[in-house]
Amino acid sequence: MARVVVEVMPKPEILDPQGKAISGGMSRLGFTEFGEVRQGKRFELEVDGEVTEEVLAQAREAAEKLLSNPVIENVVAVRAVEEA
């Protein structure tokens, strides 16, 4: 079975309170190398058979219509992943 990963992130102009909380926690724990943190979503879609360009196009369409809110989020990646 193959898998497609879809990654969705808030648009840059949208406030990200979870990302700000994570950023503050990281600095308090001594992780000072990192600046701003943005939190997104990752979806894993199982595919019977192989991941073709058509499957990736269908996954992108599903991501844009169902897995994301296009008013406040961008679909930033749709890709096949190898099974471990």
- Domain with 73 in it: what CATH number? 3.30.1280.10
Closest CA to 82 of 47, 41, 42: 47
Kindly report, residue by residue over 43-83, the tens digit of the pLDDT. 999 999 999 999 999 999 999 999 999 999 999 999 999 87
Whether residue 84 lies inside any domain: the answer is: no
Neighbours of 12 (CB within 10 A): 8
Query: Residue 22: inside a domain, yes or no?
Result: yes
Cβ atoms of 79 and 59 closer than 8 Å: no
Domain that holds residue 63: 1-79
What pLDDT was estimated at residue 1? 83
Residue 32 domain flag: yes
State the DSSP H helix or E strand holding residue 7, giving kind and residue range, or none if neither. strand 2-10
- Kindly report, residue by residue over 1-18, the tens digit of the pLDDT: 899 999 999 999 999 999
Pairing of strands 2-10, 41-47: antiparallel
Query: Model-level pTM?
Result: 0.86
pLDDT higher than threshold 90 for residue 84: no
Give, as one character, the DSSP assignment of residue 65: I
Total tally of structural domains belonging to the chain: 1
